[in-house]
Structure 1
Amino acid sequence: MTILSSPSQMPNPGLLKVSGPDAEKLLEGQITCHVAKITPQQGSLAAHCNPQGRIISLFYLFFLENNYYLLMPQNMLPAAMTALQKFAVFYKVTLSNASHEMACISYTDRTAIKRPMEKLATLRVAPHCARYLALGHPSLIETLHPDMDTLSAWNDRQLSDGIPSIYPETSEKFLPHELNLEHLGALSFEKGCFTGQEIIARMQYRGKLKKRLYQAWLTTNKPPQRGADIFNEDHQQMHVCGTLVDAACLHDSNYRLLIILNDAAASRPLFLDPEQQTTLIISGESP
């Protein structure tokens, strides 16, 4: 579990704002969390999936000043907006890039930001984490005197808590259960239908998951690429056994990874190349 001595501000956040009288209706029919339960004091991790149940975008959903804000990597905004816009045309809503309208901080000490709490949208990053995010106007966030994170430090904090992100190179590659989203509080099966629900519900109630999310370590002079294949050796042949989901540089040439692996592969030597030049070390199944 990550412990922060003071609030830490996210650098260069990507924020998609959904506003208008039909905003809740649009999102309820498209994304995986129960939008009707979202309040300024209770946001959620959520995904927007294609009809085959694969994740287009993964984000934190906030509600503030009668608008919904989807927090995601900055470079995911065009794909996320395009995917939602296909359905937004049937509703009284507006989609816009709000990345410069709001700022986001991460914190573990809730008493540290008690005074302006009523002016912030907040959420717990995952059910197993005692870490929170808060979204608010930059001028208000400045009064909390947060430390400014590097993007690597912010990403590493997410990965250490077992929370993946989706990027353009991994969009529409993964099913929600492969990224552990049911345990991260991002899936609701109490709400009505949403895009991809049939496939996702079948996995929840009748499917047997053959791939799982793991944390791993890697030392390399070549930055690992999200979406890259992971290999292992079986009967003297190299086979693809998984996918690199996300990576964060810790220091020098050391990286923390989140990877998806076939069940049988977790106990075998793993490599990022079929020539066995780059070895991964599994540190355990993601929470």
Structure 2
Amino acid sequence: MATDVTPLPSGETRLDLLSALDIKGTGADKFLQGQTSAQVNLADGRFAPLTCFCTPKGRIIANGQLIKVADDHYRLLLSATLVEGLAAHLGKFAAFYRVELDVMEGAVIGASPTAAKARAEALGLALPPNPYLHASDANGNVVLRLPGDERYLFCEREADATSDPALDNAWQLADIRAGLVWLTDAQQDHFLPQMINWEALGGISFKKGCYTGQEVVARAHFRGQVKKRLARAVMTSDDLPDIGETLTDDQGKNLGEVVSSAFAAEGQVELLAVMATKVLETPQPLHLGERLVTLESLPYPIERLDPEKLALELRDVS
């Protein structure tokens, strides 16, 4: 059942749904360049590109955000349910590049602007002025500003924050309203990056060389073969739907599946779902079980956003 909820993050909470993988070594940049959808040199110690790792068939193994903490040290922020599996997957190639993979020690903390200011001052860090930007210190502590409404993530080695269920929900709601989904182990090897609007968020470089799954991802983009897209929706309910729960039309035909959800108010749920594009182009009644689902707008256009352009724009205004 719904608990007391906060519409947007206020205060701070330990986000146990997220974790981070540290990638260290003199060959870390070359190693990542062959594995991830990001142009790795864009991760320059300030700009943190969204990225994903794919199978040879272009399906996402994990999506996240890539941070350069220091020379020869990168950190990938991603779902806590995927970090161990991704480390094992990448570990098959890491030795060839003399790279070490370690789950980050410490915690991931979500903070509102006021709470973030106090925490950043305690660490001696400056809050990033724009989304996708970050700052780090010599101890490996990082503060990152996420897309959407102003809010910050801290990756800290020694964190004193505790988890607050209401704030956890508020943080998930902010992700939903930003059209941002962190895939979990339940969704691994299931979606092309475009199906979660990853290129609309700058999470795919179409200007870099090869990486695992690149040919499939590029072909889907340039040939317009993406038949599913991430959509935001709202429904009346006292319970959150399960990940993977099916959305249907009036005849019970499967039109999409839930990828994340959160309480927006008492008795109201907002969610992100991967939907058939025909539904988004020609809206029709949607159902999740017996409940009516209404589509809502996303805060970005469904079009390609080159991370190279995004990085340049943010550097110019920061």
TM-score by length of 2: 0.75
Cα deviation, residue 264, structure 1: 2.7
Contact 1:106 1:132 survives alignment (8 Å):
yes
Cα deviation, residue 28, structure 1: 0.9
Q: In percent, how many aligned pairs have the same letter?
A: 26
Question: Against the structure 1 CA distance between its residues 171 and 136, is the aligned structure 2 distance closer, same or farther, given a 3 Å change threshold?
Answer: closer
Cα deviation, residue 173, structure 1: 1.1
Cα deviation, residue 193, structure 1: 0.6
Counterpart of 2:146 in structure 1 is: 125
Counterpart of 1:256 in structure 2 is: 270
Cα deviation, residue 206, structure 1: 1.8
Counterpart of 1:42 in structure 2 is: 47
Gaps of 5+ in 2: 1-6, 127-135, 301-318
Question: Against the structure 1 CA distance between its residues 65 and 9, is the aligned structure 2 distance closer, same or farther, given a 3 Å change threshold?
Answer: farther
Specify the SS of the correspondent of 1:169. helix
Cα deviation, residue 97, structure 1: 1.1
Q: Does 1:191 align with 2:208?
A: yes
Match of 1:229 among 246, 251, 258: 246
Q: Does 1:210 align with 2:227?
A: yes
Q: Work out the number of aligned pairs and report it.
A: 273
Counterpart of 1:171 in structure 2 is: 188
Contact 1:215 1:257 survives alignment (8 Å):
yes
1:140-165 CA distances to partner (integer Å, 9 max, x unpaired)? x77xx999683222211111111111
Contact 2:14 2:162 survives alignment (8 Å):
no
Paired amino acid for 1:71: L
Question: Against the structure 1 CA distance between its residues 4 and 285, is the aligned structure 2 distance closer, same or farther, given a 3 Å change threshold?
Answer: closer
Distance 2:200 2:240 in 1: 29
Specify the SS of the correspondent of 1:68. strand
Distance 2:109 2:46 in 1: 14
Distance 2:99 2:63 in 1: 20
Counterpart of 1:272 in structure 2 is: 288
Q: Does 1:69 align with 2:81?
A: no
Cα deviation, residue 228, structure 1: 2.1
Match of 1:92 among 86, 95, 98: 98
Distance 2:292 2:175 in 1: 23
Counterpart of 1:161 in structure 2 is: 178
Contact 1:57 1:76 survives alignment (8 Å):
yes
Specify the SS of the correspondent of 1:282. strand
Counterpart of 2:304 in structure 1 is: none
Gaps of 5+ in 1: none
1:162-209 CA distances to partner (integer Å, 9 max, x unpaired)? 111101111111111111111111111222111110011112212243
Counterpart of 1:81 in structure 2 is: 87
Counterpart of 1:241 in structure 2 is: 255
Question: Against the structure 1 CA distance between its residues 171 and 11, is the aligned structure 2 distance closer, same or farther, given a 3 Å change threshold?
Answer: same
Give the alignment of 1:113-152 within 5 angstroms.
Answer: 113=120, 116-117=125-126, 119=137, 121-126=142-147, 129=148, 131=150, 133-138=152-157, 150-152=167-169
Question: Against the structure 1 CA distance between its residues 136 and 15, is the aligned structure 2 distance closer, same or farther, given a 3 Å change threshold?
Answer: closer
Paired amino acid for 1:254: Q
Give the alignment of 1:18-57 within 5 angstroms.
Answer: 18-57=23-62
Paired amino acid for 2:202: G
Contact 1:18 1:68 survives alignment (8 Å):
yes
